Amino acid sequence: MKRIGIDIGGTKIQAGLVLGDKILKKIKAPTPASAKDGLLLIETLLNELTKKEEIAGIGIGVAGFIDIQKGEIISSPNLPFWNGFPLKKAMEERFKGAIFVDNDVNCATLAEARFGVGIGKKNIVGIFVGTGIGGGILIDDKLIHGATCSGVEIGHITINPKGPVCMCGRRGCLEAYSGGWAIMKYACYKAKNVDEVVRLSKEGDKKANLSLERAGKGLSLCLANLITTLSPDMVILGGGVIKAAPIIFEMVKTQVPLIALPVAMRDVQIEMAKFKEEAGFLGASLLG
């Protein structure tokens, strides 16, 4: 039966009408600057998608820490006006049917596991590198959340206790090496985005080269430790930075086998994500 998936991000909200792996209709709009306006926009998008349609359920992925039992947004750094908001309850007051809420990167990982490069794999680590870094982990085909629903914050794994200060206020997080903002910062702000860092690197700019190398090494170290700890079937790398800088993906493929425990590394596949911006709402449609 058809389902709705919604992806609430810092800059845009995307929604899709989905039947299995088929996206029947999709729509997006800029993210409003308040929870009230956000709900009104979601209502508008859903009304557009559900005309004359019977819907089995609605799944919502949100950038932030989510209490999946209550369907409440605990906190969202990019959407602070949603902090503490009971999204599931608010949606149930407006729409009939089952409502599910989870983290957006968990949803993206789920989409890749079910319909992307991870089909047939039950133990998957997903890492999505954009301005920040998010992660999702499936063990025995189930998403891991942790006791406080804050699990899988891969971007804030410490890879150097004496490293640079991260946006979270701690030192040496993976994100402070491999996140988009860190790549641009280490390139001395010569570039407005990672695409420009890549261009400068190809032109021989030493700072740009070092910045990308630094990002690749940081991601490789973190990923090798995750593989040694979890022994997954597959690691999936996605996000805007990986798409813009495939050299980072190639560094990871080369360096990780040299660091990870050989027995854990033996059967691991490291793949680039299939989906782009559709992964969030496609994965959200699978919740529940």
Residue range 178-207, pLDDT digits in tens: 999 999 999 987 788 999 999 999 999 999
3-107+278-284, CATH topology level: Nucleotidyltransferase; domain 5 (3.30.420)
User: What pTM was estimated for this model as a whole?
Assistant: 0.92
Task: Give residue 51's pLDDT.
Answer: 82
Q: Does this chain's domain 3-107+278-284 share its CATH topology with 120-272?
A: yes
Q: In whole angstroms, how far apart are CA 17 and each of 30, 43, 260, 282?
A: 19, 14, 41, 9
Average of per-residue pLDDT across 263-280: 94
Asked whether residue 59 carries a pLDDT value surpassing 90, the answer given is: yes
Asked whether residue 164 carries a pLDDT value surpassing 90, the answer given is: yes
What tens digit of pLDDT does each residue of 24-53 get? 999 999 999 999 999 999 999 999 998 878
Residue % of the chain over a pLDDT of 70? 100
- Which backbone phi and psi does 54 adopt, to 5 degrees? -95, 130
Residue 96 — pLDDT band, cuts 50, 70, 90? confident
Asked whether residue 276 carries a pLDDT value surpassing 90, the answer given is: no
Task: Give residue 63's pLDDT.
Answer: 87
Task: Give residue 149's pLDDT.
Answer: 79
Question: What residue has token string 């529940």?
Answer: 288
Q: Which helix (H) or strand (E) covers residue 142, if one does?
A: strand 142-143
What tens digit of pLDDT does each residue of 203-228 get? 999 999 999 999 999 999 999 999 99
CB atoms within 10 A of CB 200: 20
Domain spans of the chain, in order of start: 3-107+278-284, 120-272
Asked whether residue 15 carries a pLDDT value surpassing 80, the answer given is: yes
- CATH code for the part of the protein at 120-272: 3.30.420.40
What tens digit of pLDDT does each residue of 143-158 get? 999 888 777 889 999 9
199's CB contacts (< 8 A; 6+ apart) are 191
Task: Give residue 200's pLDDT.
Answer: 94
Task: Give residue 151's pLDDT.
Answer: 72
On average, the pLDDT of the chain sits at: 94
Q: What is the rounded CA–CA span in Å between residue 199 and residue 180?
A: 15
